[in-house]
Structure 1
Amino acid sequence: MEKIEHINYIKSPISGVYEALVTQNGLGRIWTTKLVVKPKLNFVNEFYFDDEDATKMKIVELVENKKIVWECTSSDPEWIGTSISFDLSEKNGVTSVVLRHENWRKITEYYRWCNYNWAMFLLSLKEYCENGTGTPYQERHF
């Protein structure tokens, strides 16, 4: 199985970074403006991009200010059954975010494109947490 893994450092308290990753307001400011999100274990978050079908992520682990794990239950076929995790730690006022997208069946063109887009996601998270303005999907220029 293949995985995507990134790290970014955010000059923001860990609580603010965690809040951005688990709330409708936070994820709406950094990933997509069309979403249904609740920070509750076993809740299935819904994210909408270009099409009418939702990308659905079940929350399988939620440890405040430390870890978030989603399992993809509906999306592009290459995503279904994969997991996305965010591991957070803070040192000297800087929060590190390790993002992992695991259980890809193989490396494909779509995998590579998603790898790039996860880096853009972390940049948007950083900008939102540090400056108050992220770049959700609807505001990005592809």
Structure 2
Amino acid sequence: MMKNYSFDIESHQSAKAVFALLLNIKKWWSGIYGETITGKSQKINDEFSFSAGEGMHFTKQKLIELIPYKKIVWEVIASNLSFLENPKEWEHTKLRFDILEKAGNKTKVTFTHQGLSPEIECYEQCSNAWTQYLNNLRENLK
């Protein structure tokens, strides 16, 4: 059974505030590897490009599912991870955020990169990078 990379965050911000921050990808998916983000990610079928590491990582994402204050899913529609034997390894994987309001004015965010599993070449490097970006997100959610 394939185990996808997953990361949980708890915040005292509302689900509405968390949702808005997640859609503003430049606020949390940047500041580590010289990223360039272009395009939009506010409504279904919006697309944005992400480039980092002086071009070593390029992906293009399409917003395919959006449930206000509950879920955001992007599909990776193009991938060029030049440091891998298969630079298209991320294509057709999904970046998913599930948002859950909890008791005590807390919101739980679960990020899952569906398709990023220990069986693929990128897993170690990519999961380490995701952890850095998601810790960045955690800081923005304080």
Equivalent positions of 1:1-142 (< 5 A) are 1-23=2-24, 27-32=25-30, 34-35=36-37, 36-49=39-52, 50-51=54-55, 54-75=58-79, 76=81, 77-91=88-102, 92-104=104-116, 107-130=119-142
Bigger shift: 74-83 or 60-69? 74-83
Q: Distance in 1 between matches of 2:12 and 2:121?
A: 33
Bigger shift: 119-128 or 50-59? 50-59
Paired residue type of 2:71 = K
Give the TM-score, by structure 1 length: 0.78
- Aligned residue-pair number: 127
Higher helix share: 1
Q: Distance in 2 between matches of 1:62 and 1:53?
A: 25
Give the TM-score, by structure 2 length: 0.78
Contiguous gaps of at least 5 residues in structure 2: 82-87
Percent identity over the alignment is 28
Q: Distance in 1 between matches of 2:138 and 2:12?
A: 8
Q: Distance in 2 between matches of 1:79 and 1:22?
A: 20
Structure 1 residue 52: Cα displacement: 8.0
